Every structure is written in structure tokens, then in C-alpha cells.
Amino acid sequence: MSLRRRSAAPPAQAMSFTNRSSKDQYCAVTTVSSDKWIWAFCLAFRVVNSLLVQTYFNPDEHWQTLEVAHNITFGYGHLTWEWKKGIRSYLHPLLFALLYKVMGFLHLDTPWLMRKAPRVLQSVFASFADLYLYKLSRLIYDARVARWTLFCQLVNWFMFYCITRTLVNSLETVLTVVGLFYWSSFASSSKKHPSGSRKLALFIASLACAIRPTSAITWLYVGFVDLWQERNRLKLIFLEVIPIGLSVLGLTSILDWWMYRSMVFVPLNFLKFNFFSAGGDYYGTHPWHWYFSQGYSVMLFTFLPFSLIGIFRSKDWRFSGLIAWVLGVYSILGHKEFRFVLPVLPLSLMFSGYSLAELSDSDSKRKNTKASSRRPSRAQVAILFLVATNVPMALYMSLVHQRGSEDAIYYLSKQASDGKVKSVLFLMPCHSTPYYSSLHSNLPMRILDCSPSDNKGYVDESDRFMSNPVGFVSTMLENSSLPSHLVMFESEEKHLRELLVSHSYKEVKRFFHAHFKVDRDLQASVVIYSSTIPT
């Protein structure tokens, strides 16, 4: 099994770039021109995509990226325990710190732009994932499959919902797709690409591992599969893999040492916490089969049968093996999340594209009969089915489900810019909302702590509040100064309403949040209370 694509052309047809015929050169120019138009279309699509995403999905989008970038640029922002333990690299947040720096310099750091600009930047990265998935499909199969693959990539609900978010997994997905294209370009014997393609692939793979060490799961498979058939194994390992890997690792280590102001080796700390000590289990565990029975199946949604058919019909076991390998390794870990396996979702959508391409070809062969011309083709029915199921899902999850967290902070940011907010206390499970990166005002704010502890039986503030909201808040209000604003979910507000009124608080704003619960009681809305005592 190899990630190489076997060529159907005889060796005599192979040629270098310098010996191409004029026809080959014309085709190459046409392909490049076509790729530019495809990228421009994908960029426009993803920018609109980013503007339509107005909901809250995962805390890391804000707390492990934008909050850190805001702290770097503007000098204030909450750094979670991960940054005190040194298990995160600054490489990813620095991309958005640069964006914030430009916005601040141009005085464009308004509440609306602070909310939208980071996702627009991520949409630029996401457009390259779309383009290179198209190019990878064309390289492995043909232009027909590539077009269908791009359709699947743009229509899939979870890709629309997640790829323009500022999660490190979103950028990891982009790097994975681009890296696989360049690796496959070098390995393809039917297309002579510059020898630098593999080195570029190794550099991109190293970057992916630098920003997210678990990306090594993907690239270990890719490397070992092709290493098995590589004749110059020692040359590959000692002249390419090790030098490029160590160079990227060294540069990112220097960067982290500079930012942390101490000698910190992030990949080792990350692996020790997530793999060797199962620290991730603190945030919940799932059964071993969760990715197969629920997680990945939900991500693919109605594309699942098309992906499975594409896998068996294409008989391309190298990429389907990569998907199975990644899902299998992540299944060993107790803590599981949708975003962890996002980097292999485009590959499954490529198999969906293969399946749809075959279906379309089959329809073309049958369209000469009068009976078939009177009804929609099977490909048209499939398109309608996929669009009708994925587009509403994408729009609902991006525009409706769990939007209260984002809307509440946006409201507070506008109020704070007008001087109407003095301090904020978030009485909700920790990391339930964006924070300083969205508020963008240096005000006293407090969240309930949920940092993991080495002490057995330790119950963090967030869990203590959830188990006894009235008792916890009564003690807090008696022993600390009263904030000007309180933020909470409706599910806890109904227990606290009388207590808050007795302390001179009144409701000032309520934002819809969700129609159904996720992992707790139904958090139907986010409520903001304000103190009526003059300050």
C-alpha cells in the first residue's frame, strides 16, 4: 500500500518540465489559469462563509487563539492554564496577533471588526484547503472527480460550520490537505513535479505538527507507507525528514522560548498531558467507538454513504487507510471531540466526489433512452438530496444554534465602548463565551475557574456553581465587590433571580442561545443583569 498513484502511461511518455511539447505547455498554462479562477471562487465563498458563522462552537476558537493573540497585541487578555503549563505553541496565535496589530495601527479595532476579522483571515486559509483538495483529486483521479470533490467540500455542513473558525484544527486541516498534495505530486510517476515537492510537503507537515503535535499521527502514516517502498530510505530520512523536521522544530522552539520567556518544549509537554497522563480525560470521555458510531458520521452526515461507496469503488486503500488510521488512533484516547478528526474530513469528501463522478458518468451513458430523459438523473437526485440536507443544517448551526454567547459579548463590547460597563462576572460554565478578544475593553472581568488539579476529589468553581448556584453566588457576592454586569444562562438564572433582585440587579438583555441542550440542561438563552446602584 502506498500513497503513490500508479501511472497508466508507459515510461517513454514520462518527460521533464524542460522537454514538454507545446501542447503540454498549453495544457499546463490552461490548468494554472483554471486553478486561479477556482481559488478566487473558493475565496469569495469562504469569506461569505465566515460572515455567516455567528455561533459558538468550541472554547478553543477564542481562548486558545484569539485571547492569546489579543494579550500579545494589546497587553491584556486571559491566558488559560495551558499557557502557564507550556503545552501550547505561540505559532498559531501570532498569526492573529499580526492581524490585530494591523487593525490597531489603522484604528479598525471596532466591535464589529474585532468579531469578524479573525474569521475572515481564516477564510483565506480555508480557501487554499478547497483549492488544494481540488488539485489533489485531479492529481489522484482526474478533473471530473476534482469538480465533484470541490462540490462536496463546499456543500458539507460541518466543513462550512468549522473551517472558517479560528481553531488550530482548522489551520491544521489546511496544512494537511496542502501537504498531501505536494507529497502525492512528488510520488506520482505520471506527472514529473520538481524534486522540491517532497521537501515542501515535509516542511508543511512539520508546520502542522508544530502548531498541533497530534498532526504527527497523520504524517507518521504517510511517511511509513511510502518509506516501505522507498529505495533510498536512508537518504530520505537523514537528508530530508530529519533536517527539515529539526529546522522547523528548532525555529518554533526558539519562538516559544522567546514568548514564554523560559525554556519550554511544547511538543513534549503537549504529549505528556494528552497522551501519557490522559489529562484530556478531565474534560470528559467517550466510548472507544464514538468517532465511528457518532462523531465522524455526524460530520459526514448525508455524505456518508457516498464516501463509503467511493472508497470501495475507487479501491484507493492508501487514503482510506489514512482515514481509518487517524480515527483508530484517536479512538484509543478517552477524550474525543469532532474537531480532532477534521483534517481527514476532506479526504472522505474526496471519496464522495469519486462516487458522484461515477454516478454522473453512468447517467451520461443512459441518457439516450427516452424513458430516462423524462425524469431527473440519479446524479441530479443525489445533488438535490445533499444540498437539501446539508445547506439547512449548515445555516442552522452557523446562524442559530448557540449564538447567545457571541451576541452577549458583542452587546457588552458596544456598551463598554460607550462607557456603560464597569466590570463583568460570568456566572456560567467556564469558557462558555468569548472574552477580552471580543469585548476589547480593559475592564475587570471574571470567569469561574475550571483548571485541572492534581488533587484527587478537587471540585472546581464551575462545577461547584452548577451544583449549587444560589449558595455559590451568595458567598461570592458577600465576599467580593459587586460587578456592574452579570452574565448567565437561563437555566441558572431561574434559580438566581430572587437573589439578584435582592442585590439590586435587574435584567437588561436576553439573547436566544439554543433550541436543544448539548451536554447540560437546556441553555435556552443568555441573560445579562446590570446593577442599579450608581457607580
DSSP 72-114: HHHS-----HHHHHT-S-SHHHHHHHHHHHHHHHTT---HHHH
Q: Are 488 and 427 in contact (CB under 8 A)?
A: yes
HSE, CB side, 13 Å, CA atoms: give it for residue 386.
25
pLDDT at 285: 83
For 421-451, the DSSP string reads: ---EEEESSTT-S--HHHH-S---EE-----
pLDDT at 167: 97
| Nearest in space to 131 (alpha carbons), one of 92, 177, 71 | 177
Please give the span between the terminal C-alpha atoms of the chain, in angstroms, as a whole number.
71
pLDDT at 16: 32
- Which neighbouring-strand residues pair with 509? 528
Separation of alpha carbons 405 and 411, rounded Å: 10
- Strand, coil or helix: 59: coil
What one-letter code names the amino acid at 316?
A: D
Question: Where do we find the cell 444540498?
Answer: 387
- The 3-state secondary structure of 206-255 reads HHHHHHCHHHHHHHHHHHHHHHCCCCCHHHHHHHHHHHHHHHHHHHHHHH
In 10 A of CB 133, how many CB atoms? 28
If residue 489 lies in a helix (H) or strand (E), which one and from where to where? strand 485-489
Chain centroid, CA 305 distance in Å: 24
| Nearest in space to 92 (alpha carbons), one of 211, 245, 267, 257 | 211
pLDDT at 58: 94
Residues in the chain where the model's pLDDT stays below 50:
1-2, 4-24, 26, 190-193
* pTM: predicted TM-score of the whole model, two decimal places: 0.92
pLDDT at 272: 82
Question: Left (φ > 0), alpha (ψ -120 to 50) or beta: where does 261 sit?
Answer: left
pLDDT at 363: 78
Cell of 365: 451513458
For 505-532, the DSSP string reads: EEEEEEEE--SS-SSSS---EEEEEEE-
pLDDT at 27: 56
Question: Left (φ > 0), alpha (ψ -120 to 50) or beta: where does 288 sit?
Answer: alpha
Q: Are 154 and 129 in contact (CB under 8 A)?
A: no
Separation of alpha carbons 69 and 79, rounded Å: 10
pLDDT at 452: 85
Separation of alpha carbons 136 and 185, rounded Å: 8
Burial of 95 (0-12, 13-18, 19+ CB in 10 A): middle
| Nearest in space to 327 (alpha carbons), one of 351, 357, 347 | 347
Separation of alpha carbons 256 and 72, rounded Å: 13
pLDDT at 371: 54
Task: Kindly state the DSSP code that residue 20 receives in the 8-state scheme.
Answer: -
Separation of alpha carbons 498 and 489, rounded Å: 15
Task: Kindly state the DSSP code that residue 486 receives in the 8-state scheme.
Answer: E
